Structures are given as structure tokens and as C-alpha cells.
Amino acid sequence: MSENKIEQKQKSERLNLYWLCGQTGRKHPAGVAFFNEEQGDYRLKIDVMPDDKTFFLKTISSSDDVTYYRVEAAVKKAGRVVHRAEVGSGYAKKEDPTIYMDIGPFSRTLVLEQQQA
């Protein structure tokens, strides 16, 4: 692996994920996310999922005030990713760096904070 590739991997900032309860507004830690500049998407490591289950968050469209996202799961066959399946959706308002995601079958909203507090 070249030094440039190593530098890129080291610069990938760890962002927090949390579950948001719609009834109480309470936040519960849910994992971490990393932005992949080459692909232009986020890799999500969700605590309640097995380590070999990989999720991605990808921008699909935007309007004047909202950006829309698709949550995808990597589908593997014989240990290799053969495609990504859509498992949820998300959105972020332009003035708010927080991305809100709905992933079935979870009743709580998964949230990605794009800026560290």
C-alpha cells in the first residue's frame, strides 16, 4: 500500500452514530461512521449488527433545503461483495449537518452527526 493511501486512511474522521427515540428525544450510542472520499459515501459500523455486516450511506438527490440519502447493505457471496441492497433512507436539512436515517426493522431513527461536538 502506498504512503498516499495510508495517509488517506488515517485522515478519515470517525463520526458518531446514535439512535434517536422519537417519543422521548433521548440519544443512545449506535456506532461510528467513516466518510470514503473515493466513493463519496459513508461506511456505517452499527453496534447492533454483526461485524461482517457492512452498511453504506449514499447521497441520492438534493433540493434547495434538503439532501436525501439511501442506506445500503453490502450483499456478499463467497466472501465477496456482489452488490448493495437498499435497506433504508435518510435526509439532512441544508443548515443542519445531522443526517436522520430510517432503517427497517428498527423503530428508532439512526442519526449521523457530521461534525464532532
pLDDT confidence of residue 9: 46
Q: Is the pTM of this model over 0.75?
A: yes
Give the distance between the most distant pair of CA atoms in the chain: 49
Domain membership of residue 1 (yes or no) is no
Q: Which residue shows C-alpha cell 433521548? A: 26
| 62-112 residue pLDDT tens | 999 999 999 999 998 888 889 999 999 999 999 998 999 999 878 889 999
pLDDT confidence of residue 5: 45
Neighbours of 15 (CB within 10 A): 19
Q: How many domains does the chain have?
A: 1
| 10-28 residue pLDDT tens | 457 899 999 999 889 999 9
Contact yes or no for 112/99 (Cβ under 8 A): yes
Domain membership of residue 3 (yes or no) is no
Domain membership of residue 83 (yes or no) is yes
Domain ranges, residue 20: 11-113
Contact yes or no for 92/99 (Cβ under 8 A): yes
Separation of alpha carbons 4 and 57, rounded Å: 25
